[in-house]
Amino acid sequence: MQGEDERAVFRRHGAEGVLLIGGGAAVLLQLADPRVALGVARHSGFRDRPLDRLRGTLDYVYAVGFGDDELVAEAVRTVNARHVPVRGTAGDGRPAYSAFDADAQRWVASTLLAVAMDLHERLWGPLDAETGDAIVRGYAPVGFRLQATREGWPDTRAEFDAWWTDRLDRLVVGDEARTVARALLSGASDLHLGAAALLPPIRLLTAALLPAAVRDAYGFRWTPRVERVADGWFQGIALVWPRLPRVVRHAPMHASLRRVRRRSRYAEHEPRGRR
């Protein structure tokens, strides 16, 4: 499976909006790297407006995965501009951090991949090796379109799983991570009533998609009964989702691409001195 065929495999996977169910778990995994947690806690409005960061991440990921060169360039420009002030020096037991840290960017991309593959397999069964390898390679541009490079990104599912297991052993869920997690999962101010009503199942599925050690570090209550309820949700979603029209299943991707196109058109017409 090479070239366009492999890219088509990745796009069939990535276009499914149901993967957004894993967004909370991916964010919590990202925050379990203290460098990411410090950057988010100190330089973003995530506590008050978590959906802004989630939309920004979606717009970038969808543009890189599905956009043309113009959309990719606009998405990269937007992310890099937001990252400029996100940096800090080490001190008081805290690591130095920078949003331009290539390894941290690689970690963020890896969380999106790991959670997406986990969710994919929970809903539709195990991925064969060839498909899994194509998806792993398909997520590589999420990092290297910024400051990360292809070097160090696994080429196969087996390589990724080994690398992921090693990284999980080095995670530290600190106070900054827990604070942002509470804002994300407790009904933040920018959630309208309909979205807030979905928080209980979102919290449940987020906990289910976290590795056990990370889930415990965030303080999720996890029992056999809770696990059975989560499994029931996954089974229900797996039954209903394939029956939805493609226009519904792919709606989040198309909405993100429209947002990036609007920003790109605005940037083209913005006076040069204001850029």
How do strand 87-88 and strand 97-98 relate by DSSP bridges? antiparallel
Across the chain, the runs of DSSP E, i.e. the strands, are: 87-88, 97-98
Model pLDDT, residue 49: 64
Model pLDDT, residue 4: 53
Q: What is the pTM of this model?
A: 0.89
Model pLDDT, residue 273: 46
pLDDT one-digit tens code per residue, 91-121 = 777 888 888 888 888 899 999 999 999 999 9
Distances (CA, A) of 195 to 191, 192, 209, 220: 6, 5, 20, 21
Model pLDDT, residue 141: 87
Place 195 in a pLDDT band, splitting at 50, 70 and 90. Answer: low
Retrieve residue 32's tokens.
Answer: 């379990």
SS3 content of the chain, % helix, strand, coil (to 5): 70, 0, 25
Least reliable range by pLDDT among 3-12, 79-88, 189-198: 189-198
Closest Cα partner for 108 from 63, 167, 21? 167
Question: CB neighbours of 80 closer than 8 A, spacing ≥ 6?
Answer: 146
pLDDT one-digit tens code per residue, 27-86 = 999 999 999 988 887 877 666 666 666 778 889 999 999 999 888 888 888 888 888 888
Distance CA 33, CA 45 (A): 19
Residue 140 has pLDDT above 60, yes or no: yes
Across 5-96, the runs of DSSP E, i.e. the strands, are: 87-88
Residue-by-residue DSSP string for 105-123: HHHHHHHHHHHHHHHHHHH
Residue-by-residue DSSP string for 42-55: HHS-TTT-HHHHHH
What share of the chain in percent tops pLDDT 70?
86
